[in-house]
Amino acid sequence: MNTHRLTLAALTVLPLVVSCGAEKADGSSVGAAASVKGVHWSVDSVTADGRTSEAPSGAYLRIDEDGGTSGDLGCNSFGGKASVTADHVSFGSLESTGMACEKTPMAFERKLSATLGAGPLALDGSGDRLTLTTGDGDRVRLTKEPDAPLRGTAWKVTALGGDGTSTALPAEADPRLTFDPRTDKVSGSLGCNKVTAKATVRDGHITLGRPSTTRMMCDTSLMKAEKALLRLFDGTVGYRLDHRSLTLTSENGETVHAVAPSGTD
């Protein structure tokens, strides 16, 4: 499988001209920058040359508040930078992985990238729906997917980090943390022992109390990961939600990466 990085010619210097803003529930309008940025846009379908192709699961587009762009064409992911104003967005050079995936028709990826690259694209929609349309009438239909809620989600911890690095947890580890919206507590598993503590969420931060845990002994690798997780407690951590991903950052720069479980987890 080829996993090298490449530049998508069809997505290079992609001008996405927005013709109007989205509409609030009260009927007032908001600018494109407010309605497009920070949203996980799931790709529903692409219509080109009069033929509509349904998107494979996982195809999406996202523009972050700082202009960073990420997405998935159905198999290959891409990233880069975008400049968004009140009425347009312009993409710079976007880079994509170069994998060949058996379960995703590569023809769809080519059609999606070609349609996005045929800009300027007019934007039409409101609420959770957007349609990007080329001058020739080809279009990409998008639906807004909300972030997983911080509270009530059984967050599955997948990696620990610090100093700009991230290390995946041992395969046998399965730590999960749930912030209870009714009791202002966090509880779950550290991978070996169960844990519970007070958790106060406010202004992008979580103040964690002293943890109460069970006292089992497990394999060395599990206990090492558990000790790293315990260092988050009895202090304040910052948190960042990105669709179905959660990052916790301690005051000394240590990070915990977690994901919302799928229906099969």
Q: pLDDT for 76-110, tens place per residue?
A: 888 877 776 665 666 667 677 888 777 667 888 88
Average pLDDT, integer, range 137-163: 91
Can you give the pLDDT at residue 149?
94
pLDDT at residue 8 above 90?
no
Can you give the pLDDT at residue 23?
38
Can you give the pLDDT at residue 104?
65
pTM: 0.65
Can you give the pLDDT at residue 5?
37
Model confidence pLDDT, tens digit, residues 37-91 = 788 999 999 999 999 999 998 899 887 888 787 889 888 888 877 776 665 666 6
pLDDT at residue 250 above 90?
yes
> Hey, what are 76's tokens?
């290959």
| CA atoms in the 13 A half-sphere facing the CB of 182 | 0
Can you give the pLDDT at residue 25?
34
Q: Label residue 61 exposed, middle or buried (CB < 10 Å: 0-12, 13-18, 19+).
A: buried
Average pLDDT, integer, range 189-203: 94
Model confidence pLDDT, tens digit, residues 200-210 = 999 899 999 99
The Cα–Cα gap between 191 and 174 comes to: 5
Check residue 115 and give left, alpha or beta (phi > 0: left; psi -120 to 50: alpha).
alpha
Please name the amino acid found at residue 247: T
Can you give the pLDDT at residue 254?
92
Whether the CA torsion 10, 11, 15, 19 is positive or negative: it is positive
The Cα–Cα gap between 209 and 200 comes to: 9
Q: Given pLDDT bands bounded at 50, 70 and 90, which one contains residue 165?
A: confident
Q: Label residue 69 exposed, middle or buried (CB < 10 Å: 0-12, 13-18, 19+).
A: buried
In Å, the largest CA–CA distance within the chain is: 66
Looking at residue 100, what DSSP letter applies?
-
Residue 95: count other Cβ atoms within 10 Å of its Cβ.
Answer: 15
**Mean of per-residue pLDDT scores for the chain:** 80
Can you give the pLDDT at residue 27?
34
Cα distances from 130 to residues 9, 144, 189, in angstroms, run 24, 8, 40
Can you give the pLDDT at residue 263?
57
Can you give the pLDDT at residue 88?
62
Can you give the pLDDT at residue 229?
94
Q: Label residue 25 exposed, middle or buried (CB < 10 Å: 0-12, 13-18, 19+).
A: exposed
Low-confidence winner among 89-93, 200-204, 231-235, 248-252 (lowest mean pLDDT): 89-93
Model confidence pLDDT, tens digit, residues 109-138 = 888 888 877 766 777 777 788 888 888 998
* Spatial CA neighbour of 232 closest among 169, 174, 190, 184: 190
